Chain A
Amino acid sequence: DAKTTQPTSMDCAEGRAANLPCNHSTISGNEYVYWYRQIHSQGPQYIIHGLKNNETNEMASLIITEDRKSSTLILPHATLRDTAVYYCIVRLGSARQLTFGSGTQLTVLP
């Protein structure tokens, strides 16, 4: 699986959009971009995934650049409960397992 690079930490004001970047410059054509988050002392929670097109669900939006070398997870209106470590993971479509990097600690400030 391709390696990902994320900032170690970010802060965001409550109610504002949180934009979490991820660099995956070595991604191959059949690898998907997945985002998970882990709230302290809990199991990771699936957020969203995509291949080429931008994706949106009830939790977040995923913006993938045209060259697919980077992506941004957007939480449109961050709340205090969104404080967590966010993991960007690149995974082959046929693969079953996930490989976690160090992630980004997002802290939503009141």
Chain B
Amino acid sequence: GAVVSQHPSWVICKSGTSVKIECRSLDFQATTMFWYRQFPKQSLMLMATSNEGSKATYEQGVEKDKFLINHASLTLSTLTVTSAHPEDSSFYICSANRGQGVGEQYFGPGTRLTVT
């Protein structure tokens, strides 16, 4: 099946610093990628939809100035958590649809962010 990778798999940073997470589709092109956040013992919550060559679409309640998304190519989307705080500690997961229309969505392995 299609493969989506994320880097890094885990990161620890100090409060107030910024962290960049990369999401790559390794064997297919993705015009749209998605970023989810998952807190312990909770389900995945969609944060934003990343569109290649245009601005991301953020879900209600997600601060676009805090979670910067860049989708510069058909295989790479990045999420930058700016001025991170302990409450931003979470499991961040990206995904991408392969092809148009109905089809499976492929997920990355996730990035565990811990802000101290």
List residues of A whose CB falls within 8 A of some B CB: 32, 34, 36, 38, 41-46, 49, 87, 93-94, 96-103
Contact = CB atoms under 8 A, between A and B. Distances in A.
Residue from A34, A44, A94, A100 having most chain B Cβ neighbours under 10 A: A44
Chain A at the B interface: mostly helix, strand, loop or mixed? loop
B110 A96 contact: no
A97 B43 CA distance: 15
A41 B91 contact: yes
Given A42-B110, A46-B1, A100 B105 contact: no
B89 interface: no
B107 A96 contact: no
Contact of B32 (A38, A96, A102): A96
Nearest to A42: B109
Interface stretch (B11-19, B66-74, B93-101): B93-101
Contact of A102 (B43, B46, B95): B43
B47 to A, nearest CB: 11
Interface residues of B, number: 25
Given A34-B104, A44-B44, A46-B104, 13 more contacts: A41-B112, A42-B110, A43-B107, A43-B110, A45-B107, A46-B1, A93-B101, A96-B32, A96-B49, A97-B34, A98-B34, A99-B46, A100-B43
Interface string B12-36: 0000000000000000000010101
A42 B32 CA distance: 21
Given A42-B109, A43-B109, A44-B93, A97 B49 contact: yes
Contacts of A34: 104
Contacts of B108: 43
Contacts of B97: 96
